[in-house]
């Protein structure tokens, strides 16, 4: 039996070289949620570069507007944004933008979400109502999002189905339990968002 020899054509070689030299796809992701829910922690845990943080010390001036009941040890707060970068593959780089959680900083959200493919909405089961503004915002602007419950030490652990029902999250929106301090947990959440965004907006 004669052997078959496959030869690369000039077109095949050019295509291969193009794939090898192709610049990675830069993808913007927003991390949102209520005050003190773990957005800065998430970006810090997963970023491969030193994350940009705009943390400011909590002062007496914010006592009447920032509820520290569930986070008594919190000493700082984000006043602009968090920024980090994560390379998931040779051709996919995620740029993470964490939004400030307090209502007085919501005016910045329109600028932060511009160009994003999707958002992670962090939730804390001790104060689920705090993530409603983010949910309403992304629903209204049509940006794909996933809901990630950041499980804090000492808080009750609920099933994703219970959180979905409590927040009336549509069935097609992924809901997961995660730990913003653990890199692998954050990566799993980001992968879920990327997959969901591709399903929602394939283009």
Rg of the chain (C-alpha set): 20
User: For 145-152, what is the mean pLDDT?
Assistant: 94
pLDDT in tens, 132-148: 999 999 999 999 999 99
The top-scoring range by mean pLDDT among 6-10, 90-94, 118-122 is 118-122
Gap between the Cα atoms of 111 and 118, Å rounded:
14
Q: What is the mean pLDDT of the chain?
A: 81
CATH of domain 23-55+76-200: 3.40.50.300
pLDDT score, position 104: 58
Contacts of 17 (CB under 8 A, 6+ apart): none
Binning pLDDT at 50, 70 and 90, where does residue 79 land? very low
**Residue 75 banded pLDDT, cuts 50, 70, 90:** very low
Q: Which residues touch 26 (CB under 8 Å, ≥6 apart)?
A: 93, 95
Question: Which structure tokens are listed for 157?
Answer: 């652990």
Q: What is the pLDDT of residues 27-71, one digit of tens each?
A: 999 999 988 899 999 999 999 999 886 555 444 444 455 455 555
């Amino acid at each position: 039996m004669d052997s078959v020899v496959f030869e690369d054509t000039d077109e095949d070689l050019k295509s291969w070289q193009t794939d090898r030299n192709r610049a990675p796809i830069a993808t913007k992701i927003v991390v949102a949620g209520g005050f003190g829910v773990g957005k800065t922690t998430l970006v810090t845990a997963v970023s491969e570069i030193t994350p940009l943080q705009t943390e400011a010390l909590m002062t007496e001036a914010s006592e009447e507007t920032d509820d520290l009941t569930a986070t008594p040890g919190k000493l700082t707060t984000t006043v602009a944004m968090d920024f980090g970068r994560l390379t998931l593959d040779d051709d996919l780089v995620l740029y993470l933008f964490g939004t400030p959680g307090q209502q007085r900083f919501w005016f910045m959200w329109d600028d932060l979400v511009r160009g994003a493919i999707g958002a992670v909405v962090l939730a804390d089961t001790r104060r689920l109502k705090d993530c409603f503004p983010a949910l309403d915002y992304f629903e209204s602007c049509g940006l794909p999002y996933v809901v990630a419950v950041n499980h804090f030490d000492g808080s009750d652990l609920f099933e994703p189905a219970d959180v979905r029902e409590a927040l009336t999250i549509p069935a097609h929106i992924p809901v997961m339990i995660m730990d913003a301090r653990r890199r692998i947990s954050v990566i799993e959440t980001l992968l879920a968002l990327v997959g969901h965004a591709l399903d929602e907006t394939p283009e």
